[in-house]
Structure 1
Amino acid sequence: MREECTECGGKGYEVISTEKCSECKGTGKSKSVNLMSLSQKDVGSFLKDGSVCPKCGGSGEVEVRRSCEKCNGTGAFYKCDVCGKPIDGPINGKEACSTCGKVDIVHVLDDSCNQDELEVGKLYQAKVNNIANFGVFVDMNSNLRGLIHSSNLSTPLEPGDQVVVEVKEVRRDGKMDLIPRHVKEFNIVEVEKSIPIRKSTELDKFIGKLIKVEGEVIQVKQTGGPTIFTISDEEGLISCAAFERAGERAYPEIDADMIVTATGEVTARADRLQVEVKSMKRLSGAKEAAVKKRIDEILDKRAEPAEIEFLVESEILEKLRPAMRQVAREIRKAIMKSKPILLRHHADADGMTAAVAIERAILPMITEINGADAEYHYYKRAPSKAPFYEMPDVTKDISYALEDAARHGQKLPLVVMVDNGSTEEDVPSMRQAQVYGIDMVVVDHHHPDEIVDQYLLGHVNPAHVGGDFGMTAGMLATEVARMINPDVTEEIKHLPAIAAVGDRSEAEEAEVYKQMVSDKYSLQDLKDIALALDFEAYWLKFSSGKGIVDDIMDLGDKSRHKKIVKLLCEQANSMIDEQLTACMPNVKSQDLPNGAVLNVLDVENFAHKFTFPAPGKTSGEVHDRMCQKLEGKPVVTIGYGPDFAVIRSKGVLMNIPQMVRELHEEIVGGGVNGGGHLVVGSIKFVEGKRTDVLSKLVEKVGSVGVE
């Protein structure tokens, strides 16, 4: 195997310096010329420009060269075709080392090869195509067919038989004479056409020409005609069409995520370029590793997030910058590799603003890379009713992802979780996703558990750097979105203010975010938008609500935004008033040992069910009313049902995740789990242990400090 020397580029020498041409003394003109030897064209050129020095070609300088030490001036290296060991050159007509050369070498021609790759006297593998009276026609690949004359046949052959042949002659008309050879022991050497590798950005220069590309298979799609392979190299995507038979899968051994090399002709199809595949192979070993490394290194550079100034000054944000950049980098890299994005978020105002901020950042990039309708194939947003990744959520996500992989040949998605994903409750779902190789990143502000980090590529949580839940997911995700795509800043900069109001954040950053957009949105405007989002989330259930959610967030028609927010707030407030009219007379209050006032409500028996507001929202509204009534006092409100309790507090220094862990250990058979923020959360338990759990919970609430 002859390989061009990489040191000298195949020239066999290195240029040390340049010096003045000794022939023309640096003028570039010839001293004398024989006019009788010049053609009419050359005479015209001579009269116009003068003669050119033959030694320097008219430059006036000549190169001072040194023979390349690496290849000893040959410009190339030879390697054994069988074992790859360096050799000085062909031995006995074989490009093999002394050891491998003792065994016959049979060449297998790639489908990209034509007669240029054939050599008389060498052995090739062939397959019998059909039988004629005068001999047997055999195929050496899909392009080359030759004849074994009947006079050279000693044993009968049948169509489909494999046979080793020696090329006896290649005629001018392209016909080949072949001789069958019986070889007992031989080494197989695959032969590919020697073609330079081209990048995706170069295809327009080679329309109608044969090229070779290398890269990672992103998608395999079977049409009624050819099989379409989408290959990603370090600069973009390449559409490759391979045809076996109409509707039949070409190269079934090649699938998404594999590193391949493909040879074919570049053609123009409507407004895009396509490679009509003649040969495609999966790379393995060192070649696979080298191509993957090259692609990953370039993608890593291109995926680097933008250097931005945060919208607000914040010590917490600055400390989180590395983690935020990591999440932004993973999202950008997934988009560039045409990996679908599944955006999971808690179904409330904070979760929705967080998700939509990232959605607005990534959709233009997905469309740019994968085409106009890419949003429907490479992106999905789905709300989660609970503030963690529930088993029904992950089951649906895995099922849909596997269906898309089987039907459309897509990669499995990157799951981006916002306003959930930080707690131990997420772990069972994360473990299921990990089995299928589904990657995840998280942007959340619920109190984190260290155990989740082993399942994540990136994790943003203010508690990691000394912050708390006051830095909401909507604030964090908006800044991450700006790192992904700074162009969306003006479009989404009001979303943190909505998130702050929706999650009742008292952080300093929340006030700054609200002041930043106060010229366009009053505090009441922000409250109305947050309420409208919560109200609509209840009715949307598991639907993303794209379109109507955009209108509520003022990301669409301005007039429609005002009308829909006003209408939804009227409906929401009416239903809240109706619910509280039924609830408030049934709230029971008591003073706790620590001075806090505890309010409890049985939402199962004293609240409307299966309507807005849900038990969590109902408990929150009751808590707000009681805080107004007991202004200045620490207040805790518990709304409970048969097997759950919702906790809201003000001025009480609780740690709900810790309480949940303690209750789980202390109440045997209680099945206690849950969590949330430090002072706002929910607990689940088995119905038969409700009295024990609630009694113990109240005891713990009464023992903590108050502000």
Structure 2
Amino acid sequence: MGNCVICGTSVDGPICSSHEQDVLFEFEGNHPQQLSVGRYYKGTVDGFADFGVFIDVGKNVTGLLHKSELNQRLESIDWNSGDTVFIQVLGVRDNGNVDLGSSIRQSEREFRGKLIQNAENTYLPDESETERTEQSDSEQSSQQSRTEANETKEQEESEAPEPSPTTDGSGNAVGSATVSEHKEPLERVPIDSLSDRVGERVRIEGEIVGASQTSGPTVFELRDETAVVDCAAFKEAGVRAYPEVDTGDVVRLVGEVELRNNELQVETEQLDALSDEEEDAVVTRLAEALENEARPADVDLLAEDSVVSAIHDDITDAAGAIRRAVIESRPVIVRHNASAEGYVAGAALERAVLPLVREEHARSDAQYHYFDRRPLEDGLYDMQDATKDATNMLDNRERHDEKLPLFVLVDAGSTVESGDGLDLLDIYGAPHVVIDTQYPDDDVAETAEVVVNSHLGDSDEDVAAGVLGANVAAHINDDVREDVSHLPAVSYWEDTPSEYVELATEAGYDEDHVTALREAVALEAYYQSYEDKRELITDLLFEHAKRDLAEHVSEQFRTKLENELDTAEPNLSVRGANGVTFTVLDTDAYTHRFDFPSTAVLLDALHRHDITGRPGGQNVTLGLADDEIHIRSDVGVNVRDIEDEVRERAPNAGIVAVGTRDGKFEFLRGEREAALDAVIESVSEHLN
């Protein structure tokens, strides 16, 4: 016998079953079947394939980390052959193939300890060979003793006579327990009081909001009207306890409150699903508490802004939907445009939601399980994005009994290009909220729980995505109001409304620093276009102490953008039609592809800075790519309005409008010049 290196519990070996997933294992065995499913191991990148990464787990065993297990695209992962990585063994097949999963923890210090596992036993790194041999012998002896004890108990139970029922005064049977064995029922206690009841035996009631099977116990997440707590139930190692209980069930649980590594956990003695009146009483209690807690505080907008005031109720409703998801233990997935504005708005929501997740869940890593932020290319939620999200959410529901997430579409989700993706979520019953600044197509957001879009209010004026994101964030969690008050100003490239300039100044962000933040986030948005990392964006937007970071990154932004503008300027062509001036850049021929700036950022800068000395009147900038024409205009040309005209002028070009105001046209590569002529003629007529 030994003691668990984490909790000190007496156990065979150095780790108890409850904490196997909290430590890092270094494998020194020689066969895949010696690996333990569920454990986290140190590995070495061996090579890459189209379908995943091969990783050596020790010297003699190689496993596959399939691309479906990664939280980013395979081509964007920054591992190289020979790199040390940390992975989880998901399964070992009969043919010896090892299935691996990714780990959030990617350094040894993030684990709570380290153990060595060889072909025979598990031991601490500094144990001697003699100690390891003694431990192995002890484990075998203890296992044999447990086996013999279980066999004896089973035999005694099978030979024991049936207990006689006790009777009341009239001779009626009332049960098998004697009066001396009767225990007074425990009174129900709220989960938020468990920190004061460590070591006590308690009864709690609520809804199972998650269930996961570890290599040791089954861990149920139980939520009542006050909080959520992990409850460990053990049948035998790796075997599901209480298989009749599932996510969504309303239950009564009795167990002992323990503190494991400063995290509360209830060791389950009894778990019963409730029904009928008992279930109804708990459901009613939870619903009332949820409604009260999810309702945002009656707070003001960040600033007096008539455009935003027109949709204040929508902002409140969106905040309530997000708060409700957190309280329900429903993951919140923020999908935002991979632009500076999208990142600013997404980061504002992240700032507001993460503290609520940490308050709601006792697990220290809950913020990684119940909140995620992922960028979207071009501000479109297409079928590729939706399919990936649906696959992940269904996998998490199947493997971890996780609720379907609430998806929050930020600076995206209002045009028909997102319609099919949103319909896919709706088919599965996954709720979503849209917070967008793009001009909307009719009926696209019908399936959304809430839509926040200034174009749906009394005013049809444009507003920056950061304005909406920061206001929703302040309504989700009023404690972060001061943290996010400077973000609206960061979202504007020019003509920032004075009320938001004033907010930023009051928060300690002068004009130069706001500009540096905007430029730095724009650069990192490009390089993180397939990533969902939090730390760098958080440091840029919220850490005053890291002011030099923004200055450094923004300098790179300006250098790269100015170099590209210098390259583009001599290669611009200017055409006039019907009194409209068109500045055309062949982005395939005269830009450095696959590096910053993106086409969108470059065209925005070209149109914004008026570098060609264009005359007065209507001005339009066109980015001509291999099979696309991007539009930037002074008035926001809606490509939907002129799609039919462009098709008529270039009938063989396969014209397709994408987006709405200042969107783009896709065409067949062989009809490039015809498509360009058709767009110029149609836009010029539309503007006159």
The answer, yes or no, to whether TM exceeds 0.5 is yes
Find the partner of 1:577 among 550, 562, 578: 562
Quick one: which amino acid aligns to residue 365 of structure 1? L
Counterpart for residue 542 of structure 1: 530
Task: Give yes or no for contact 2:219–2:230 (8 Å, CA) kept in 1.
Answer: yes
Quick one: which amino acid aligns to residue 264 of structure 1? V
> What is the rounded CA distance, in whole Å, between the counterparts of 1:527 and 1:217 in structure 2?
47
Shift of 1:485: 0.9
Shift of 1:676: 4.1
Shift of 1:444: 0.7
> What is the rounded CA distance, in whole Å, between the counterparts of 1:304 and 1:632 in structure 2?
51
Task: Give yes or no for contact 2:233–2:269 (8 Å, CA) kept in 1.
Answer: yes
Counterpart for residue 237 of structure 1: 228
Say if 1:365 and 1:586 are closer, same or farther in 2 by CA, change over 3 A: same
Say if 1:665 and 1:397 are closer, same or farther in 2 by CA, change over 3 A: farther
> What is the rounded CA distance, in whole Å, between the counterparts of 1:574 and 1:241 in structure 2?
55
Find the partner of 1:603 among 555, 562, 587: 587
Task: Give yes or no for contact 2:332–2:370 (8 Å, CA) kept in 1.
Answer: yes
Find the partner of 1:305 among 296, 306, 325: 296
Pair 1:400 & 2:392 matched: yes
Counterpart for residue 326 of structure 1: 317
Counterpart for residue 146 of structure 1: 163
Shift of 1:147: 7.4
Pair 1:263 & 2:253 matched: yes
SS in 1 for 2:310: helix
Task: Give yes or no for contact 1:653–1:704 (8 Å, CA) kept in 2.
Answer: no
Quick one: which amino acid aligns to residue 146 of structure 1? P
662-671 or 430-439: bigger deviation: 662-671
Pair 1:526 & 2:514 matched: yes
> What is the rounded CA distance, in whole Å, between the counterparts of 2:621 and 2:655 in structure 1?
19
Quick one: which amino acid aligns to residue 621 of structure 1? A
Shift of 1:289: 5.2
> What is the rounded CA distance, in whole Å, between the counterparts of 2:609 and 2:624 in structure 1?
17
Pair 1:687 & 2:669 matched: yes
Find the partner of 1:515 among 498, 502, 508: 502
Task: Give yes or no for contact 2:202–2:257 (8 Å, CA) kept in 1.
Answer: no
Higher Rg of the two aligned structures: 1
Shift of 1:664: 6.7
Aligned counterparts, 1:333-372, within 5 A = 333-371=324-362, 372=364
Pair 1:659 & 2:642 matched: yes
350-359 or 537-546: bigger deviation: 537-546
> What is the rounded CA distance, in whole Å, between the counterparts of 1:336 and 1:169 in structure 2?
42
Counterpart for residue 28 of structure 1: none
Q: Which is richer in helix?
A: 2
Give the TM-score normalised by structure 2: 0.70
Aligned counterparts, 1:151-166, within 5 A = none
Say if 1:674 and 1:379 are closer, same or farther in 2 by CA, change over 3 A: farther
Aligned counterparts, 1:280-679, within 5 A = 280-283=271-274, 288=279, 291-371=282-362, 372-468=364-460, 470-501=462-493, 504=494, 506=495, 510-518=497-505, 520-553=508-541, 555-558=542-545, 560-562=546-548, 564-593=549-578, 595-626=579-610, 629-630=613-614, 632-650=616-634, 652=635, 654-660=637-643, 663=646, 671-676=654-659, 678=661
Q: How many residues align?
A: 527
Shift of 1:300: 1.1
Task: Give yes or no for contact 1:225–1:243 (8 Å, CA) kept in 2.
Answer: yes
Task: Give yes or no for contact 1:259–1:291 (8 Å, CA) kept in 2.
Answer: no
> What is the rounded CA distance, in whole Å, between the counterparts of 1:193 and 1:450 in structure 2?
62
Aligned counterparts, 1:178-217, within 5 A = 197-203=188-194, 212-217=203-208
> What is the rounded CA distance, in whole Å, between the counterparts of 1:572 and 1:208 in structure 2?
57
> What is the rounded CA distance, in whole Å, between the counterparts of 2:342 and 2:567 in structure 1?
29
Shift of 1:407: 4.1
Task: Give yes or no for contact 1:446–1:469 (8 Å, CA) kept in 2.
Answer: no
> What is the rounded CA distance, in whole Å, between the counterparts of 1:168 and 1:538 in structure 2?
70
SS in 2 for 1:280: strand
SS in 1 for 2:557: helix
Say if 1:666 and 1:387 are closer, same or farther in 2 by CA, change over 3 A: farther
Counterpart for residue 122 of structure 2: none
Shift of 1:538: 1.4
SS in 1 for 2:602: helix
> What is the rounded CA distance, in whole Å, between the counterparts of 2:602 and 2:593 in structure 1?
10
Q: Percent identity between the aligned chains?
A: 30
> What is the rounded CA distance, in whole Å, between the counterparts of 2:644 and 2:299 in structure 1?
40
203-212 or 691-700: bigger deviation: 203-212
Q: Which runs of 5+ in 2 are unaligned?
A: 1-152, 166-171
Counterpart for residue 4 of structure 1: none
> What is the rounded CA distance, in whole Å, between the counterparts of 1:620 and 1:172 in structure 2?
82
SS in 2 for 1:598: strand
> What is the rounded CA distance, in whole Å, between the counterparts of 1:366 and 1:542 in structure 2?
24
Shift of 1:390: 2.7
Task: Give yes or no for contact 2:603–2:632 (8 Å, CA) kept in 1.
Answer: yes
> What is the rounded CA distance, in whole Å, between the counterparts of 1:173 and 1:521 in structure 2?
72
Shift of 1:660: 4.2
**Cα deviation code 1:99-156 (max 9, x no counterpart):** xxxxxxxxxxxxxxxxxxxxxxxxxxxxxx97789x9537xxxxxx6379xxxxxxxx
Quick one: which amino acid aligns to residue 405 of structure 2? P
Say if 1:614 and 1:202 are closer, same or farther in 2 by CA, change over 3 A: closer
Find the partner of 1:137 among 155, 160, 168: 160
Say if 1:345 and 1:661 are closer, same or farther in 2 by CA, change over 3 A: farther
Shift of 1:636: 0.2
> What is the rounded CA distance, in whole Å, between the counterparts of 1:368 and 1:217 in structure 2?
18
Say if 1:313 and 1:599 are closer, same or farther in 2 by CA, change over 3 A: same
Shift of 1:483: 0.6
Shift of 1:699: 1.9
**Cα deviation code 1:309-363 (max 9, x no counterpart):** 2222122222211111111001111111222111111111111110111111111
**Cα deviation code 1:2-21 (max 9, x no counterpart):** xxxxxxxxxxxxxxxxxxxx
Say if 1:700 and 1:211 are closer, same or farther in 2 by CA, change over 3 A: same
> What is the rounded CA distance, in whole Å, between the counterparts of 2:339 and 2:678 in structure 1?
30
**Cα deviation code 1:208-240 (max 9, x no counterpart):** 776543322111122333211111112222432
Shift of 1:386: 1.3
**Cα deviation code 1:544-594 (max 9, x no counterpart):** 3422222332x1253x323x333323322332233233322221112221x
359-368 or 627-636: bigger deviation: 627-636
> What is the rounded CA distance, in whole Å, between the counterparts of 1:683 and 1:500 in structure 2?
26
Q: Which runs of 5+ in 1 are unaligned?
A: 1-128, 139-144, 149-164, 176-191
SS in 1 for 2:329: coil
Give the TM-score normalised by structure 1: 0.68
SS in 2 for 1:601: strand
> What is the rounded CA distance, in whole Å, between the counterparts of 2:195 and 2:328 in structure 1?
21
Quick one: which amino acid aligns to residue 517 of structure 2? I
**Cα deviation code 1:653-702 (max 9, x no counterpart):** 63234334765798667554444452x32232333444443333212211
SS in 2 for 1:516: helix
Say if 1:515 and 1:131 are closer, same or farther in 2 by CA, change over 3 A: closer
Task: Give yes or no for contact 2:434–2:451 (8 Å, CA) kept in 1.
Answer: yes
**Cα deviation code 1:516-560 (max 9, x no counterpart):** 32464444433332222212221222113422222332x1253x3
Say if 1:697 and 1:288 are closer, same or farther in 2 by CA, change over 3 A: farther
Task: Give yes or no for contact 2:374–2:531 (8 Å, CA) kept in 1.
Answer: yes
Task: Give yes or no for contact 1:197–1:212 (8 Å, CA) kept in 2.
Answer: yes
